Structure 1
Amino acid sequence: MSKTVVPVTDGHQNLHSEHGALRGEHPGRARDPIIRVTDIAWLEFDKPDLVRTEAFARAFGFGVALSAPEQLHLRGTRAGAPCVIVRNGQRTRFAGYALCAADEADVARLADKTGAPLRRLPEPIGGVAVQLTDPTGTPVKVVAGTHQLPAHPAQAPQLANVGAGAARINATVRPAPVPARIQRLGHLVLQSTTYRQTLDWYLETLGMIVSDFLFFPGQRHRGPAMSFIRCDRGATPSDHHTLALTLGPANRYVHSAFEVADLDALAAGGEYLRDRGYLRSWGIGRHIQGSQLFDYWRDPDGFLVEHYADGDVFDNTLEPGWAPFTASGLAQWGPPATKDFLDTNPRAARHQVASVLNALRQDNEFDLNRLIGLLKVAAS
């Protein structure tokens, strides 16, 4: 009696990474998390000059939901809460961020399991929140029931004549030299000296799942050094990553990303920023993990912010991909990653050396071997 042979295929081929996990590697999800968050809500910053902050924000493409002497609320065109809250402060700092729970019952469950108090958020945000702190020390609010700002007119994607069909007839493409209108906050990237502990906290506490792992060159046996993490919405697709974590010599904000309509909006918006003297850090290109079209800029306070379009979305059936962490592997096409983006330029050298020396003196996951791996990333 003959047997039917079922061909085995690699589920990651032509998706987001060419290889899956080896036996015994991190599964990329927790068996029984406390809750499952559904999205990122907003970022929080303290800055001493809100006038300068608002000027850049408008040029970058944000709408302004609230402009007052003590705080600034920035929004996208989609309905929802503000995507950035900036408070007037004596020094510039990233002050934390908020994630959305499915409902107020999940926020109450999280409060009960963690012992953190359930609090009502002030107007004009509304809703309830639990204030947590992740292992890096970053404040993380989990919120539900917030007021929803109405949608604003969105920037329409350009009609494109691609393939055999023609969608644009008797018409030209002339992207207006205007800011790329922000639709929403897409993701946040954080660096951690306790990467594995922090990763597990997000999976076990908030039910997030890993889309892709990266490992330092030659160090796969030591486990991943970066992870792109999405929300688990079951069969409903979610952004390839809402949060990304990377191992490094300091606990810090790396960058945040904001969705725009398409490549034309991203590129024309970049011209608008450049003409006003703002610094492009890296771009334009297309990433590998997540596939986004990207363009990175520095705001006047030095924070790295990204315009992106056309990112991947996955449901919860896709297991993590694994790939080497290399500078050349950050993009499918586009210019090489810059020293500014990689924080290897001379301006950042003194701060980086101080961070490395401090980290090597502490009890954390960033040891000398990991430092060597990180240096190989920038050179590869």
Structure 2
Amino acid sequence: MSYVRLSAPDLGRMQAFLEDFGMVLAHRDAQRLYMRGVGESPFLHVTELGAPGAVSFGYQLSENADLAALAKLPGAHGIESPDVPGGGQRVRLRDPNGFWLELVTGQQRVAALPPRVLVRGPDGESRSLGPARVVRIAHTAYATPNLADVIGWYQRTLGLLPTDELFVGQADNVIGQFNRVDRGDELVDHHVIFLLRGQRAGMHHVSYQVEGVDDIFFGYDHMAHREHDHVRGIGRHALGSQIFNYWMSPYEQMHEHWISHEKLNASSRFNRIQIGEGMSYDTGEKPPERFVKQATPIVEWPAGTGF
């Protein structure tokens, strides 16, 4: 993952939410807001001025990616050089849900921000106030009424590998599948995309890795103190061994604080997992109904070509 591109009617309100969530302003103009983390990516989150929703999802390609070949895929746009922090090139195409994907290469890295000081000074104490420190974007989850077709499309188009599949009752009653990047023997995250069955297509959530597990708790205290909309957590996903906490933006777009130490490679086993109703499987409280049914609607690509 490289970034998400969402849409909101008030960029200032969205910036305040994302700063409390743990991001840093990279660039803002009258039409869009770019936010970064403490890592080397020039930005991790874009907000377009407009009706609330989800616009597109950016994926960083390998350096030897053939953009010209990708531009020939059905429904794809030609190679573009968007005016964004970090520059680079991209190809845009739609998935079967109608989501825009931005396949990106050539972005320039930026200097990472200084790490949190972990050694107590002569006047220090064991407290850390303020937001979590977001390092990178980890994954996104999409709801779709056409689960099998969408899973197949992502695996064919992006070369993804299935990691774990969830079913309720009988094994053919599949409600979701986690997919990871294929990097051969190189270790990767449990998933880069989670596809789940829903009544309508939409973004379920976007997940951001934080600097350390303490950030999950620092972030909770800070967000709760600022009276942001808490959805679920703190808990642990049984699949991927991920510590999580979920927050809703002011415009019904769910964001996750996340950290995990489980890694896989191309030879890691694919498992089919039976779970309870309502996605009940993880450590912690049962997922609330709003979490299970969450799906931020797709909105049209904003007018203009300068981004």
TM surpasses 0.5: yes
Kindly report the root-mean-square deviation, in angstroms, between the aligned alpha carbons of the 2 structures.
2.4
- Give the superposition deviation at 1:328: 6.4
Q: Secondary structure at the match of 1:274?
A: helix
Query: In 2 relative to 1, CA 115–255 (structure 1 residues): closer, same or farther, beyond 3 Å?
Result: closer
Which position in structure 2 is the counterpart of 1:186?
138
Q: Which has the higher strand share?
A: 2
Letter in 1 for 2:55: A
Q: 1:340-359 counterparts in 2 under 5 A? A: 340-343=290-293
How many Å separate the matches in 2 of 1:205 and 1:343?
27
Q: Number of matched residues?
A: 293
> Which of 149, 163, 170 lines up with 1:219 in the alignment?
170
How many Å separate the matches in 1 of 2:243 and 2:293?
21
Q: Which has the higher helix share?
A: 1
Larger Rg over CA atoms: 1
- Give the superposition deviation at 1:84: 0.6
How many Å separate the matches in 2 of 1:328 and 1:252?
17
Letter in 1 for 2:134: I
Which position in structure 1 is the counterpart of 2:305?
none
Query: In 2 relative to 1, CA 265–324 (structure 1 residues): closer, same or farther, beyond 3 Å?
Result: same
How many Å separate the matches in 2 of 1:155 and 1:250?
41
Which position in structure 2 is the counterpart of 1:107?
67
How many Å separate the matches in 1 of 2:199 and 2:290?
17
How many Å separate the matches in 2 of 1:261 and 1:105?
29
Query: In 2 relative to 1, CA 113–53 (structure 1 residues): closer, same or farther, beyond 3 Å?
Result: closer
Does the 8 Å contact 2:27/2:35 carry over to 1? yes
- Give the superposition deviation at 1:47: 1.0
- Give the superposition deviation at 1:176: 0.8
Which position in structure 1 is the counterpart of 2:226?
276
Which position in structure 1 is the counterpart of 2:88?
127
Query: In 2 relative to 1, CA 113–44 (structure 1 residues): closer, same or farther, beyond 3 Å?
Result: closer
> Which of 11, 15, 25 lines up with 1:50 in the alignment?
11
Which position in structure 1 is the counterpart of 2:301?
none
Letter in 2 for 1:149: V
1:135-182 C-alpha deviation (Å, 9 max, x unpaired)? 1110011110012222112336x69xxxxxxxx9x9997231210011
- Give the superposition deviation at 1:123: 3.7
Query: In 2 relative to 1, CA 279–172 (structure 1 residues): closer, same or farther, beyond 3 Å?
Result: same
Which position in structure 2 is the counterpart of 1:303?
253
Listed as ranges, the gaps of 5+ residues in structure 2 are 297-307
Letter in 2 for 1:316: A
Which position in structure 2 is the counterpart of 1:148?
109
How many Å separate the matches in 2 of 1:300 and 1:306?
14
- Give the superposition deviation at 1:319: 2.6
Q: Does 1:243 align with 2:185?
A: no
Listed as ranges, the gaps of 5+ residues in structure 1 are 1-39, 160-167, 352-380
Q: 1:198-237 counterparts in 2 under 5 A? A: 198-215=150-167, 217-222=168-173, 224-237=174-187
How many Å separate the matches in 1 of 2:92 and 2:213?
37
How many Å separate the matches in 2 of 1:220 and 1:114?
32
1:95-117 C-alpha deviation (Å, 9 max, x unpaired)? 01111111264222222454732
- Give the superposition deviation at 1:338: 2.3
How many Å separate the matches in 2 of 1:212 and 1:238?
14
- TM score, norm. by length of structure 1: 0.72
